[in-house]
Every structure is written in structure tokens, then in C-alpha cells.
Amino acid sequence: MPSVAIAEGNEVRPPNLFGWDRLDLASALAAFADRPYYAAQVYHHMYGRLETDFQAMTDLPTALRRELAERFRVDWPRVKDVRSSTDGSKKYLMALEDGGEIESVYILYGARVTLCVSSQIGCALACRFCLTGTMGLVRNLSPGEILGQIAVMARDHALAGTSYRVVFMGMGEPLHNYDPVMRAFRVMVDAKGFGLSPRRVTLSTAGLAPGIDKLAREKPRPRLAISLGAAHDTLRSELVPINRKYDLEALIGACRRFPLGPREKITFEYCLIDGVNDGEQDARRLARLTRGFPAKVNVIPYNEAGVPGFRTPAADGAQRFRDALLARGVAATIRWSKGRDVGAACGQLATRVAAG
């Protein structure tokens, strides 16, 4: 739902338009904007041009700009800290209006830019190897708070109008916050919004099978990635507790039903943990699990994040595991996470400030 006016001390701030979709804007502006296309212009200024100042929307009448500034605002999350990695990546700590905090990551792979965004403050799934899971779930993010992360990083790095990627792989389980995530996604892929191709947006889930089935019915929809962790139920239930509710049979069944475009594959993110899930038998099980439908495996060596009992495997161990998958016909790559030196890698995002 669109944000409403909020109280800040004795001051009541007007509603924040950022995060509103085309229909919300049209409804809000209908009472005082005499031409329907004005709402579309505001929409494009906010998302396509990353403009937050109504006075800079100079294709709108002066009186309308003045009215908008009196009734509404366009605000993004506030940047509290930016930590720069030696590999060019940056971790952003952003503050929300209620005092909550989230982390997002600007990632460089050569010339390719990927923005990793959060969908929740914390996470309820409590995957044992993930630092975010130690926070528990504080709350869901709104569409504007999700899109605001992209806007902050896009403006910092002059990405408006360029072709970058977005991954829902930050804090939270996106399918636990389904409607706001999808509302944000639709703005991302709108030609007058952020203008991204749906193929450049990836949603990663720890395995909510009903949510995958629901996502399969969306048009357009993001690419699908599965955070797997283990290829047999006993170990996966220990590492990824949601597996106790939706086991591998249910999860793989949902993946097999998921419609894919030409050359599209479901990505399985396999967090490789030294001495836990990195054996030859684990590779055999993973190969069997992903057989028979378009799939690829990203082997992600575990990023140590202060969670006791979990260690990063040696590089040659990760290569052996990858090679064992390749030998069994699995499309597999090793993905060493970016931003490890600043706590920006997979599984390392966490804050300690709850919403107040």
C-alpha cells in the first residue's frame, strides 16, 4: 500500500510517493491534476530519471509542481555508511524512516554491475550458516524501501538508463514478502520505470515451494534462483530449516513446474562449506537432484561471517567439487563472492538496529 503521512516529532510529513505504481499515482493526482498523463510524467521522473525534487520536473506546469511539493514528497532510504571493497564492490548501510536499517551491495564483475537488494529487515528462516538469519525477522520492506535501495546505488554510480542487474539476494526471504517484492519488480521492468529487462532481475529463495508456484504464474516474472545448501533432506533440514516444511521433493517439483524461456535455466546456489557439504557423495547427490530439467549450479565457497562451526573451503576443494559436477553433465561454475573484505558477501549481511 502507498505510504501515508507520518509524524516526525510535532511535524506531520506528507506521504512519500516513492514506491507508488502507475495506478496509485493516477488515483492520488486525479483530484487536482486535470490531465491524466501528468501522473505518468511524475512516475517517469521518479524512477526513470531518479528525480526527487518536484521543481526539477520542468515538463509539469509550475502550479502543479507547487501543489505536489505541498502535498507529497519523494524520499529514499538514507545512507548511513558505505564500505568499499578492494574488488570495487560497495556495501551500503541504509536507514529507513522508522529507524530500521538494511544493507545492500553494489557489485562489480568486470564491467558488469549487479545491485544486491534486501526484501526484509532480518529473516525468519534462520539458515544456520547465514548471518542475516541470526537477526530473526524484524519486518517486511515496502515497495518504496526496496526500490529506494536501487535508486540510491543507481544515482551514486550513474546507472540511470544503463543495463545493470538486480538480485534479491540481500537480507530476507523475498517470497515471504511476496506482494511488495512483486510491486517493486514491476516498476523495475517498466519501460518508464527503471527500464530493466525481466531477465536482468533474479529472485533467490531458500525453498518456499508454494511461493515458487505462485511466481510461476506471474507475467512478467524475474529469473529464479534457489539457495540450496545441501542435496539430501537430512543435512538440508539441519542447515536450512524451511526444508522441514517443504522438503527437496516439494522444492524440486516446484522447480520442474516453473516455466522457462529459451536458454533460461533455474540457478541453484550451492553454498560450499568445508567438511559439511563438500564431499564426493554430495556432488553425486546434487547432480542427480538437478538432472532432467534446465538447471545450472553456482558453487559458492562459504563466506565466514562469525557464525561458529562453518569454514570456507580451500580453493582446490571448491574446484574438485565443481569438476565432479561437470563430469556428471551439470552446468556448474565457482562463484567467489565479491566484497568479502567488507562483510558484503553472500550470507554476511546483517544489522543490529531494529525498527523502533
Q: What are phi and psi of 304, to 5 degrees?
A: -65, 130
CB-facing half-sphere around the CA of 132: CA atoms within 13 A: 30
Alpha-helical regions (H) of 95-196: 143-156, 178-189
In terms of phi and psi (left: phi > 0; alpha: psi -120 to 50; beta: otherwise), the region of 339 is left
The answer, yes or no, to whether the previous bond of 220 is cis (omega within 30 of 0) is yes
Q: Residue 206 has which C-alpha cell? A: 531458500
CB distance 299 to 320 below 8 Å: no
Single-letter amino acid, residue 221: R
CB distance 200 to 166 below 8 Å: yes
Give yes or no: 103 in active site. Answer: yes
**Among the options 101, 103, 173, 269, which is catalytic?**
103
Of 170, 173, 171, 200, the residue nearest 185 (C-alpha): 200
Beta bridge partners of 204: 225
> What distance in Å separates the CA atoms of residue 132 and residue 351, rounded to the nearest whole number?
8
**Among the options 123, 127, 130, 346, which is catalytic?**
346
Question: How many Å is the maximal CA-CA distance in the chain?
Answer: 70
> What distance in Å separates the CA atoms of residue 42 and residue 30, rounded to the nearest whole number?
13
> What distance in Å separates the CA atoms of residue 22 and residue 43, rounded to the nearest whole number?
7
Give yes or no: 346 in active site. Answer: yes
Alpha-helical regions (H) of 217-327: 233-239, 248-257, 280-289, 315-327
- Count how many residues are written for the chain: 356
Crossing angle for the helix pair 143-156 and 178-189, to the nearest 10 degrees: 40
Show which residues are catalytic: 103, 346
